Amino acid sequence: MTEERFEWLFEKLMQFGLKLLVAILLFLGGMWLASKLKNLIRRRMIKRQVDPSIREFLIPILDVLFKIMVLLTAVAAVGIEVTSFSAIMLGLAAGVGMSLQGSLANFAGGLLIIFFKPFKIDDYIEALGNSGTVKSISILYTTLITDNQQMVVVPNAILLNNPIKNFSIMPTRRLDIKIGISFNENLEKTIEVLKKMLENEPEILKDKPITVEVQEFTESRINLAVRGFTKREVFWDTYYRLHKQTFETLKGHDISLTPTPSKMIVSDKSE
């Protein structure tokens, strides 16, 4: 009797061992195939010029789904009921979901960003006091690279629920220069000189408004707003060049700035 039980046990162990071996092979092969399939989809998306924001958001989700399918296939090969296993996984997922409500909110925020497109990868944006180029939009976070090459990671839910300035939507940007001159200077001459400077600048668009206006009076000076539009891609080069050129132009016409240093500001407005 003992020998029969031993043989039965040995047979069951052999059957289970064979199933386990098959399950391991299926799991390893499935993971390899899932990786290849993920890379294939990525290459196809790139070839068909799918928006990088959509591509980088969907690929990780597809990767997780492929791996879950592989895991379920391996579990079924062992002989475990997939429905029972799925119920256990769903219960665990529900428990984890309750403890990770913030992450679920970030996931939903990522979906809304991809769907409504307030910005996309490579856009230059300002949000929550941070300015930079959008490097990636993942399922939970958006990554920015600032002008000084620092990486800023912002949760999608927080990002979506706060104002976002996107400087890459419009093809042009308005450049503002704020300067102060003395009350003793000839105001009309100063305005004329600055307007001519803008008109002679090749990167200032001539089909857009070029204005030099009195912005405000202070106790010691008259503040002027010098404004012109440039193409977005040459904005910063023009910004720095005009900063220097404004000083030299006024100096060349014997127009003195006030003791308070002139300040050049970047307008948040575009057209």
Per-domain residue ranges of the chain: 2-50+58-99, 109-166, 172-270
In angstroms, the CA 248 to CA 91 distance is 71
Q: Is 109-166 assigned to CATH 2.30.30.60?
A: yes
**Residues 172-270, CATH architecture:** 2-Layer Sandwich (3.30)
pLDDT of residue 198: 93
Report which of 126, 115, 135 is spatially closest to residue 162, judged by C-alpha positions: 126
Q: Going along 48-186, which residue ranges are E strands?
A: 124-127, 130-137, 141-145, 151-155, 164-166, 172-181
User: What does pLDDT average to in each consecutive run of 10 residues of the chain (271 residues)?
Assistant: 65 74 82 85 79 75 80 76 58 48 74 85 90 89 91 90 90 90 88 92 92 88 92 90 90 79 46 45
Angle at which helix 235-252 crosses helix 187-200, to 10 degrees, equals 140
Fold type of domain 2-50+58-99: Helix Hairpins (1.10.287)
In angstroms, the CA 198 to CA 221 distance is 22
In angstroms, the CA 141 to CA 156 distance is 5
